[in-house]
Amino acid sequence: MLDPEFKNIDGSTIDLTDGYVVLGSGLSAIATIHAIIEASHGNQPKIYVLDAGINRTSRVQWECGYEIKMPSPKFKNSRGRYVYDYFHSALGITEKNFFAIGSLAKGGLSNIWGATIQPYGNEELSAFPYQWDEVRDIYPKIYGILTNESVGSDAETREEIASCPPSSFRTYSPKLAINKNFSEHGGCELDSCNVGCISCNRGVYNSGREIDYLHRSGKIKYLPGVFVDSAKKIKEFYYLTCKGVSSGEIFSIRTKNIFSCLGTISTTKIVLNMTKTSAPVPFLTTPGGAFFMFAFRKNNLGEPNILASQAFSGNVDGECFNGNIFSVSENLMESYFGNPIAKITKYIFGKWLFSRIFVANVYFSSDLQKSDIRNGPLGLIIEAGSKRKQLKLIFRKAMGLTSKELMKKGLFVLPLSEKLLSPGQDIHYGGTLPMKKNPVKNQCSPTGELYGFKGFFIADSSSMPYLSGKGQSFNSMVNSYYIATKALGNVS
């Protein structure tokens, strides 16, 4: 049962019309909340955060057991299983040649994300209704939220967000969302636990922790255990049909101003039902790949690191790609096989194995992967396009360039280790409800407001009209912050 202080319309309807309602608790929600607070200019806005909020000990009504077919070891450990359990059954997802990942957890996928900060450059924003000069001041704000540190000079920031390398390929030190406030051990069971631990994500920014802080400080009212199933507009109000995560209780929430930060799949489900749309809408992803390498020289990339040791970017046929290189570490071995086996492996092979074997990922822009999402009789249907010929060609060319350039640094890409991921396995989703200068149905205005639905803002990556071949967390937060800031001038 929810707090009875909110049940002030009738026995099953909660009135939240006196504030802003933020749906979700992930990274986009955090950026939206901070933007609302700052745009209120010292006033104390009422911000209600509705969230399924599942944690490790939650009692949940939906079945789980969906198999995550992912190459990332973070999806292999049982500690983080709750992060993506229940998502498919709760949303009724059917996949066709697609592997959809989402989360009902408190903090969303930030619980297991890779912590890479890869801002967009001006060229990558060409499809957006805003350009880099309009969001340049937001970049250090988001960087500060993620790291609790200030960003460097504008020149340094501008260099970091270059869309493509100055030549066809370059390597550089990655920027990571490491926050000293999140650096405690956290009861991890791995002996090798350190910053970025695969099992507990030690030191990596987690938006669930930020939600707790914002709630304790009185800046938001956090309402967990709320699964938002649908929405409808009646006159000037929105009525959200919600379900208790543990109880299954059905209730309604009435509000006027909504910022949906549930993630692309969940947000799209709500909107397609609200707009009564049966036709598919585009679903953008960043197709990716993975490969292994052997280093000719010991510690070729410096001391082995749980998190990315190096980042790289390249350009083939005008298509930019980006990737990160990780060491095969003791922490990775423990995550897969447990402490005893990892210790034996380290004792026998450690000095050689943990300094010579590396794994890498690589991502391409959403131009190279066409998918769509639509309502079906039982729930959502997500389907990947069948034509992957251009992507496979670009992937081969990119790997050829990458292999050649990394060889100069003493890194040999192992034969037959190159793998193109299946659609959806990149977990970088967006573009279903894109911002446009002249929006139509199921699109957003340049302020992120859903066409035809005043006060309903799409503040997650669903509203991003293009995804570059990079990690999307930072850029989605920038987009969310921008939308919330602009929206405050258009809501009452």
Q: What does each of the 492 residues of the chain score in pLDDT, given as a tens digit?
A: 455 455 544 557 899 999 999 999 999 999 999 999 999 877 889 999 999 999 989 999 998 877 777 667 788 778 888 999 999 999 999 999 999 999 999 999 999 998 899 999 888 999 999 999 999 899 999 999 999 987 654 544 555 555 666 668 998 888 899 988 887 766 788 888 888 888 888 999 999 999 999 999 999 999 999 999 999 999 999 999 999 999 999 999 999 999 999 999 999 999 999 999 999 999 999 999 999 999 887 655 655 567 878 899 999 998 999 999 988 888 888 887 788 887 888 778 776 777 788 999 999 999 999 999 999 888 899 999 876 789 999 999 999 999 999 999 889 999 899 999 999 999 999 999 999 999 999 999 999 999 999 999 999 999 999 999 999 999 999 999 999 999 987 655
Question: Hey, what domains does the chain have and what are their CATH numbers?
Answer: 4-115+121-162+205-285+369-385+429-487 (3.50.50.60)
Dist. CA 220–CA 45, nearest whole Å: 9
pTM, two decimals, is: 0.94
Asked if residue 190 lies in contact with residue 197, where contact means CB atoms within 8 angstroms, the answer is yes
Which has the closest alpha carbon to 299: 279, 318, 325?
325
Query: Largest Cα–Cα distance of the chain, in whole Å?
Result: 71
Other CB atoms within 10 A of residue 416 CB: 7
Residue 448 token pair:
């992120």
CB under 8 Å to 318, separation ≥6 — which residues?
Answer: none
User: How far, in Å, CA of 272 to CA of 416, rounded?
Assistant: 42
Residue 4 CA to residue 6 CA, distance in Å, equals: 5
450 with 458: CB under 8 angstroms?
yes
